[in-house]
Protein backbone atom coordinates (compact mmCIF):
# COMPACT_ATOMS: atom_id res chain seq x y z
CA UNK A 1 0.00 0.00 0.00
CA UNK A 2 1.25 3.45 -0.84
CA UNK A 3 0.17 6.53 1.09
CA UNK A 4 0.45 9.77 -0.81
CA UNK A 5 -0.32 13.35 0.11
CA UNK A 6 1.18 16.69 0.91
CA UNK A 7 3.78 16.93 3.64
CA UNK A 8 2.23 17.13 7.09
CA UNK A 9 -1.11 15.65 6.06
CA UNK A 10 -0.56 12.65 8.33
CA UNK A 11 0.88 9.86 6.17
CA UNK A 12 3.48 8.74 8.67
CA UNK A 13 1.11 8.95 11.58
CA UNK A 14 -1.50 6.87 9.76
CA UNK A 15 1.03 4.29 8.58
CA UNK A 16 2.46 3.79 12.06
CA UNK A 17 -0.99 3.54 13.62
CA UNK A 18 -2.19 0.96 11.09
CA UNK A 19 1.05 -1.00 11.39
CA UNK A 20 0.68 -1.11 15.16
CA UNK A 21 -2.91 -2.32 14.83
CA UNK A 22 -2.03 -5.26 12.60
CA UNK A 23 1.48 -6.03 13.85
CA UNK A 24 0.42 -9.16 15.73
CA UNK A 25 -0.47 -10.81 12.41
CA UNK A 26 3.15 -10.82 11.26
CA UNK A 27 5.20 -13.56 12.84
CA UNK A 28 8.52 -12.13 11.72
CA UNK A 29 7.82 -8.69 13.02
CA UNK A 30 6.84 -5.22 11.94
CA UNK A 31 9.57 -2.84 10.89
CA UNK A 32 9.87 0.85 10.22
CA UNK A 33 12.61 1.81 7.79
CA UNK A 34 13.47 5.44 7.14
CA UNK A 35 14.72 5.80 3.57
CA UNK A 36 15.21 9.55 3.82
CA UNK A 37 18.99 9.36 4.43
CA UNK A 38 19.49 7.61 1.11
CA UNK A 39 21.13 9.73 -1.50
CA UNK A 40 22.35 7.28 -4.09
CA UNK A 41 22.00 3.76 -5.37
CA UNK A 42 23.35 2.16 -2.21
CA UNK A 43 19.73 1.62 -1.25
CA UNK A 44 20.33 -1.89 -0.05
CA UNK A 45 23.01 -1.02 2.46
CA UNK A 46 22.56 1.49 5.19
CA UNK A 47 18.86 1.90 5.99
CA UNK A 48 17.91 -1.66 6.82
CA UNK A 49 17.75 -2.81 10.42
CA UNK A 50 21.00 -4.28 11.71
CA UNK A 51 19.17 -7.47 12.58
CA UNK A 52 18.37 -8.02 8.93
CA UNK A 53 21.22 -10.06 7.64
CA UNK A 54 21.99 -8.27 4.40
CA UNK A 55 25.66 -7.65 4.80
CA UNK A 56 27.99 -7.79 1.89
CA UNK A 57 29.42 -11.24 1.50
CA UNK A 58 31.66 -12.76 -1.13
CA UNK A 59 29.59 -14.03 -4.00
CA UNK A 60 26.43 -12.39 -2.76
CA UNK A 61 25.26 -8.95 -3.79
CA UNK A 62 23.60 -6.71 -1.20
CA UNK A 63 20.45 -6.80 -3.29
CA UNK A 64 20.18 -10.58 -3.30
CA UNK A 65 21.02 -10.72 0.39
CA UNK A 66 18.19 -8.32 1.15
CA UNK A 67 15.73 -10.15 -1.07
CA UNK A 68 16.73 -13.47 0.42
CA UNK A 69 16.17 -12.22 3.95
CA UNK A 70 12.86 -10.50 3.34
CA UNK A 71 11.50 -12.96 0.80
CA UNK A 72 11.47 -15.89 3.18
CA UNK A 73 9.68 -14.09 5.96
CA UNK A 74 6.21 -12.96 6.91
CA UNK A 75 6.88 -9.42 7.94
CA UNK A 76 5.31 -6.01 7.66
CA UNK A 77 7.67 -3.28 6.53
CA UNK A 78 6.78 0.40 6.66
CA UNK A 79 9.02 2.32 4.25
CA UNK A 80 9.17 5.99 5.09
N1 LIG B 1 -5.08 12.97 12.77
C2 LIG B 1 -4.18 13.80 13.33
N3 LIG B 1 -4.51 14.50 14.43
C4 LIG B 1 -3.60 15.30 15.01
N5 LIG B 1 -2.35 15.52 14.56
C6 LIG B 1 -1.98 14.85 13.47
C7 LIG B 1 -2.86 13.97 12.78
N8 LIG B 1 -2.20 13.46 11.70
C9 LIG B 1 -0.98 13.99 11.74
N10 LIG B 1 -0.83 14.84 12.78
C11 LIG B 1 0.36 15.60 13.10
O12 LIG B 1 0.73 16.31 11.95
C13 LIG B 1 2.14 16.29 11.80
C14 LIG B 1 2.53 15.70 10.49
O15 LIG B 1 2.05 14.35 10.44
P16 LIG B 1 2.89 13.25 9.63
O17 LIG B 1 2.23 11.95 9.83
O18 LIG B 1 4.31 13.36 9.99
O19 LIG B 1 2.66 13.77 8.15
P20 LIG B 1 3.34 13.28 6.80
O21 LIG B 1 4.00 11.98 7.04
O22 LIG B 1 2.19 13.19 5.82
O23 LIG B 1 4.28 14.37 6.41
C24 LIG B 1 2.71 15.51 12.97
O25 LIG B 1 3.13 16.40 13.98
C26 LIG B 1 1.53 14.70 13.45
O27 LIG B 1 1.63 14.42 14.83
MG1 LIG C 1 5.94 11.45 6.86
Interval 25-75: pLDDT, tens: 999 999 998 888 777 666 656 677 877 877 667 887 777 888 888 888 999
| Helix-strand-coil split of the chain, %, nearest 5 | 30, 10, 55
- Answer whether residue 45 is part of any domain: yes
- Answer whether residue 40 is part of any domain: yes
Helix (H, G, I), strand (E, B), or coil: what is residue 33? strand
> Based on the structure, what is the number of domains in the chain?
1
Which residues constitute the domain of residue 60?
11-79
Least confident range of 7-11, 20-24, 55-59: 55-59
Single pTM value for the model: 0.80
- Answer whether residue 3 is part of any domain: no
- Answer whether residue 68 is part of any domain: yes
- Answer whether residue 4 is part of any domain: no
**For ligand 1, mutation pick of 3, 7, 13, 14 (most atoms within 8 Å of CB):** 13
- Answer whether residue 1 is part of any domain: no
Quote the CA–CA distance of 7 and 49 in Å, as a whole number: 25
Quick one: pLDDT at residue 51? 79
Determine if ligand 1 sits within 6 Å of the CB of residue 8.
yes
- Answer whether residue 35 is part of any domain: yes
Quick one: pLDDT at residue 28? 94
- Answer whether residue 37 is part of any domain: yes
Residue 60 CA, ligand 2 centroid: distance in Å = 33
Amino acid sequence: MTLTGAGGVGKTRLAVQVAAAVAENYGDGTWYVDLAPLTDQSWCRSPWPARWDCRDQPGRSPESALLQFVGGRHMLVVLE
